[in-house]
Amino acid sequence: MSYLELRDISKVYGEGAAEVHALQRIDLSVDTGSLVAVMGASGSGKSTLLTIAGSLEDPTSGEVYLGGRPLSSLSRNGKARLRRQSIGYVFQDYNLLAGLSAVENVSLPLELDGVAARKAQAAALESLEDFGLKDRASSYPDQLSGGERQRVAIARAVVGNRQLLLADEPSGALDSTNAEAVMRLILAACRRGMAAVVVTHDAQLASWADRVVFLRDGRVVDQTVPVDSPETVLADLPNQ
Ligand code: ADP
Ligand code: MG
């Protein structure tokens, strides 16, 4: 079942001579449990697509459906609640709060949503454990490596049974080993029941996705199912 659906989405920034068609008639659906990678040159509309999918901005035309519900039917508060409870974001520069430990960073979205501190902390520890970071729970961001910081950011993005993970070049600042680890973890989060859209520049990393969508000048120019994604290769190996 598709959790995220973009139907005929266009986004225009500016007016008159300064008009920019950031997205032009985009159709895209992402199933629960599946990972879609978005590729395209700088300025092709990748970040705009994530922003609109995550209800952080409204499209100029078209409709976004999350869990079958059109975003245009939600009030401002309704959208804010959806963002707090159902959507996780990961950015290139991690955006961890320097004054909070790893576990405090991860529990913050739950606490902001009204979950009791103990319960939020327990969920945060569980999420950190899923990402192999249990022993780093009380470390502060400046005591963590880049790869660890990004894993904390992903743990924060998925904590509390979120349904949609949106990541904008989450591995852009990482070396290839850490970048691959990040894609692997995002894929694992997907398989546990999220829909995910990940922007990446790296074809190797995109090959982890179930589908790759290519944007050019705000339009989808191609969609491919990678034949040789690492998971496919593993799945095709005979059982030992
Ligand atoms: P990408 O992430 O692929 O680099 P973006 O989605 O950031 O591309 O941008 C797509 C186009 O929309 C670019 O031409 C960019 O300059 C323009 N754009 C993005 N955000 C804004 C904005 N807030 N105001 C005006 N133009 C914008
Ligand atoms: Mg961008």
Ligand 1 pocket test target in 9, 10, 13 with most atoms within 8 Å of CB:
13
Residue 236 has a pLDDT of 55
The confidence band for 224, taking pLDDT boundaries of 50, 70 and 90, is confident
Ligand 1: residue whose CA is nearest its atom 14: 43
51 Cα to the center of ligand 2, angstroms:
10
Q: Is residue 7 part of a domain?
A: yes
Which ligand gives the minimal distance to the CA of 215?
1
Q: Is residue 99 part of a domain?
A: no
Predicted model pTM: 0.91
Mean pLDDT over 161-184 rounds to 92
List residues near ligand 1 (CB under 6 A): 13-14, 20, 22, 40, 42-48
Which ligand gives the minimal distance to the CA of 23?
1
Ligand 1 pocket test target in 26, 47, 57, 58 with most atoms within 8 Å of CB:
47
Which ligand 1 atom is at minimum distance from the Cα of 168? 2
Which ligand 1 atom is at minimum distance from the Cα of 41? 3
Q: Is residue 212 part of a domain?
A: yes
Q: Is residue 115 part of a domain?
A: no
Q: Is residue 224 part of a domain?
A: yes
Ligand 1: residue whose CA is nearest its atom 12: 22
- The number of folded domains in the chain is 1
Which ligand gives the minimal distance to the CA of 168?
2
The confidence band for 149, taking pLDDT boundaries of 50, 70 and 90, is very high
Ligand 1: residue whose CA is nearest its atom 13: 43
Closest to 182 (Cα-Cα) out of 86, 53, 91: 91
The β-bridge partners of 80 are none
Closest to 69 (Cα-Cα) out of 139, 5, 123: 5
pLDDT in tens, 32-48: 999 999 999 999 999 99
Mean pLDDT over 208-218 rounds to 95
The confidence band for 239, taking pLDDT boundaries of 50, 70 and 90, is low
94 Cα to the center of ligand 2, angstroms:
15
Q: Is residue 148 part of a domain?
A: no
Residue-range definition of the domain harbouring residue 220: 2-93+162-235
Would you list the DSSP string of 64-116?
EEETTEEGGGS-HHHHHHHHHHHEEEEETT----TTS-HHHHHHHHHHHTT--
Q: Is residue 189 part of a domain?
A: yes
SS3 sequence, 2-56?
EEEEEEEEEEEECCHHHCEEEEEEEEEEEECCCEEEEEECCCCCHHHHHHHHCCC
Asked if the model's pLDDT at residue 234 lies above 70, the reply is no
Residue 92 has a pLDDT of 84
pLDDT in tens, 80-129: 999 999 999 998 888 899 999 999 999 999 999 999 999 999 999 999 99
CATH number at residue 203: 3.40.50.300
The confidence band for 173, taking pLDDT boundaries of 50, 70 and 90, is confident
Residue 232 has a pLDDT of 55
